[in-house]
Structure 1
Amino acid sequence: MIYLDKFYCFFQKTLKDLYTESKERENLFFLLTTHIFKCDKTTILLRLSQKEKINFLIYDKLIKKLWELKKNRPIQYVIGHSYFLGIKFIVNEKVFIPRPETEELVYWILQDHKVYNHDNKNPVQVFDIGTGSGCISITLKKKKPEIVHIYAIDFDTEALDIARKNAKLHNVKISFKNVDILKDIMSIPASKNYVNIIVSNPPYVKLSEKKLLHPNIVQYEPYQALFVPDEDPLIFYKKISFWIQKKLTGIIYVYFEINQFIYLDIINFLRKKGFLNIEIKKDFQGFFRMVRAVYYTK
């Protein structure tokens, strides 16, 4: 007979070399078991203390998922979902796993615009460029339903399929656009007479920094959502800024997640392009990971 506490010990032992911190292994254990048993952490703790038996079918599921973790597959892909500002999102290897730093970026937008009550003369439209799972655009729409239009843009049709599923899951209306930012950014629609909010967590890790990433990121997360060439690490910021200046009108609020190692380059680039009120912010780890700026069209 198989017992949950025995599986817990086996789980810890199996992942000890891969995840050296016991707290991290515990977190993985509870994420997996609450998913498989469809219950909360308190229930799992109770079942552990009672040395509850596990039926064979459940044990088989747990073992299969454990082997996936042993192969470095991120827990979010193993269980098929992740959480972003408390909201559940479907994820797989076609989309980048939502990160706490991006939560902070979205929270910054919500804080900046919570006092605004735009009337019909100044409705708000948001452009989420490089949407991936759709976590940014969907969260903004759920938290601020008064936003008139949100355009979620990505070049990968399979990523957009996941984002559409997440929008349907949360019953929000988002306009999804399949656009290759590097080749065809000017095709993104731009209506006049709106207050514009541009938010993007584009690829920004230089190829030379690949060795700094955790193996499960490099092995499983989409390459195209992560890396940029060393010789032009600002390539996505350049394309987005060019589009802003050529296609948008009125006041444009810009929020970028950035590479902490080249934050000064990004600030200098935005300044040279005429962006104003540039502010950089540290994430919860103390790294400069997000920037806000404003652009006024003439």
Structure 2
Amino acid sequence: MEYFFYKFYRVFQHTLQDLYPEPKELESIFFLLTTHILKCDKTTILLRLNRKEKINFFTYDKLIKKLWELKKNRPIQYVIGKAYFFGMKFIVNENVFIPRPETEELVYWIIQNHGYNSNHNNPIRVFDIGTGSGCIGITLKKKKPEITHVHAFDYNQKTLDIASENAKLHNVKITFKNVDLLTEDIFIPTNKKNYINIIVSNPPYIKLSEKKLLHPNIVQYEPYQALFVPDEDPLIFYKKISFWIKRKLTGVVYVYFEINQFLYLDILDFLKKIGFLNIEIKKDFQGFFRMIRAVYYGKK
């Protein structure tokens, strides 16, 4: 039996068109899958389709098996075991939340706001709270080598194992620590240097009542603890992090949060009430308020 690449393309479209009704999204998934399996670029895939090339049985069989995983709502990033963030490849599986474009915007905002710090008496350190795949801390360290230290925290050791693999993949030194933010305090390394501290977090912020608004592949496969917060206290993580900052950090502290678009006024009010200043809120590429920045001046 002969196997043609363009025929697989038709099967792919037919199988997933109901799950992914947006044509651009479906095309994107197709290219992520095929470039991964065939180990080539998008242009080569297009050429193979146009030329109606044959593919061998083993390749066809691999593609079909991955297609059935996609049919079961498994996200493409978990199917191929990787995701892209800031143009960089990150290893992912069901233990980590899949990096999103909105988070790229948050990281870009930090990079824009913090140019090279020429005052060597004030080195920069970053606390990446709820690091997941490590994409935030790793990207900041990679793009801003003048950052002296990146400390990354997560509640799950399996999650930290993936983040650690990603740090090795990108050849950056990050300090990872297993901390359950809701029950434990984050340890601050003792150092006499006057650090400029950057706190960044994309914590769980989706209310359980909003679960029905999500695509089934998010609910079925992505780690529950990385997504949801109780309806009665949706700001629980922002509160924990903010009060920790007030208790533990001195000097200038820049705080960057990714936020729930429906709760941006609540977060704004909370940060104002507890004494954070220079608060700025920012829309993402879709026009939703999804990022907030604030400054806290801790007493020395």
TM value normalised by structure 1: 0.98
2:164 match: 164
Say whether 1:109 aligns with 2:110: yes
Is the 1:276–1:294 contact (alpha carbons within 8 Å) kept by the matching residues of 2?
yes
Letter in 1 for 2:123: P
Distance 2:43 2:186 in 1: 51
Q: Secondary structure at the match of 2:182?
A: helix
5+ residue gaps, structure 2: none
Say whether 1:195 aligns with 2:203: no
Q: Deviation above 6 Å: which 4+ runs of structure 1?
A: none
After superposition, what is the alpha-carbon deviation per residue over 1:53-79, rounded to whole angstroms, capped at 9, x for unaligned? 110110110000000000000000000
User: Using a 3 Å threshold, how does the CA distance of structure 1 residues 186 and 29 change in structure 2: closer, same or farther?
Assistant: closer
1:226 match: 227
Is the 2:117–2:123 contact (alpha carbons within 8 Å) kept by the matching residues of 1?
no
After superposition, what is the alpha-carbon deviation per residue over 1:99-129, rounded to whole angstroms, capped at 9, x for unaligned? 0000000000000002x32433100000000
1:180 match: 180
Aligned length: 297
Distance 2:187 2:153 in 1: 11
Q: How does 1:52-63 map to 2 (within 5 A)?
A: 52-63=53-64
Distance 1:292 1:191 in 2: 26
Say whether 1:208 aligns with 2:189: no
User: Using a 3 Å threshold, how does the CA distance of structure 1 residues 190 and 74 change in structure 2: closer, same or farther?
Assistant: farther
TM value normalised by structure 2: 0.97
Distance 1:243 1:200 in 2: 13
Q: How does 1:15-26 map to 2 (within 5 A)?
A: 15-26=16-27
Distance 1:287 1:266 in 2: 15
Is the 2:13–2:26 contact (alpha carbons within 8 Å) kept by the matching residues of 1?
yes
Letter in 2 for 1:195: I
Please report the RMSD computed on the Cα atoms of aligned residues, expressed in angstroms. Answer: 1.0
Query: Which has the larger displacement, 99-108 or 10-19?
Result: 10-19
5+ residue gaps, structure 1: none
Say whether 1:290 aligns with 2:291: yes
Distance 1:131 1:123 in 2: 22
1:237 match: 238
2:79 match: 78
Identity %: 77
Is the 2:179–2:186 contact (alpha carbons within 8 Å) kept by the matching residues of 1?
no
Is the 1:81–1:89 contact (alpha carbons within 8 Å) kept by the matching residues of 2?
yes
Query: Which has the larger displacement, 78-87 or 177-186?
Result: 177-186
Is the 1:185–1:243 contact (alpha carbons within 8 Å) kept by the matching residues of 2?
yes
Task: Compute the displacement of 1:190 (Å).
Answer: 5.8
